[in-house]
Structure 1
Amino acid sequence: MPKDLTVVMEDRPGQLAMVGETLGKAKVNILGGCGFTSLGRGTLHLLFDDKSVDAAKRVLQQAGITVQGDQDVLVQKVPDQPGALGKLARKLADAGVNINLIYLATDTRAVFGVSDMAKAKAALGGK
């Protein structure tokens, strides 16, 4: 199952470069992600497949980069058309699933952190 890693760092130049270089040197591929800053801190959400997530955590921590946590995520293909994301979100809402994380990944895929993975998968057709 794909995993989202939450990485926390100082909000200053070069931090994202350090993360990318660290993972690149270890040959760990990032499948998607998003980032934001607030109150002097930067937070990254990075998507990895289940085969590389442990290596990602290890090399980041060895480089002194804080991995705050990880979570299983649902990666869902989203048609590149108006309203497509809304339709997926509505299916999850109607199934009683809360979305606590959303970002887009490569190849028009959406990454969802959800309150109930089994319900979310069932709501979206078991994918």
Structure 2
Amino acid sequence: MFDIEIPAPDGARSLARIGQVLGDAGVGLEGGGMWSATAHYLVEDADAAVSALTAAGIGPVAARPVLIAELDADVPGALGRLVRRLIASDVRLHGQYSDHGNRKVLIVDDIETARAAVRW
């Protein structure tokens, strides 16, 4: 899975266009959101997403592989414990959001080290 980062300077108008372009290209969104005029979405096919958005004049688009971590969302402090494991392993966290299965999507600088760090 991949995170795609897309400028969304016009808020809802940008998201409507992004959603239409990706939908027309058959790219499903598995999680994500928009904040500070930047959209982040979890996709399976980053190449198709980047290609469709670029062809539509939307960008620049960045695509990064992500780590998806299971987290017991009903346990207070679970996210803090997860992130402390990344810190202890010197993994830099660039972003975090949830997918549609309530798993944590982690955008990190070193996926393999992060994967080892978050194993319960």
Q: Same fold (TM over 0.5)?
A: yes
Higher-strand-fraction structure: 1
Aligned partner of 1:5 in structure 2 is: 4
TM-score for the superposition, normalised by structure 1:
0.84
Kindly indicate whether residue 83 of structure 2 is the aligned counterpart of residue 83 of structure 1: no
Aligned partner of 2:107 in structure 1 is: 113
Higher-helix-fraction structure: 2
8 Å CA contact 2:50–2:63 kept in 1: the answer is: no
Which 5+ residue runs of structure 2 have no aligned equivalent?
none
Task: Quote the offset at 1:13 in angstroms.
Answer: 4.3
TM-score for the superposition, normalised by structure 2:
0.88
1:78-111 Cα deviation digits (max 9, x unpaired): 1122211111111111222121111111111111
Mapped to 1, the partners of 2:3 and 2:93 lie a distance apart of 14
Which 5+ residue runs of structure 1 have no aligned equivalent?
none
Structure 1 counterpart of 2:47, from 42, 54, 78: 54
Aligned partner of 1:31 in structure 2 is: 30
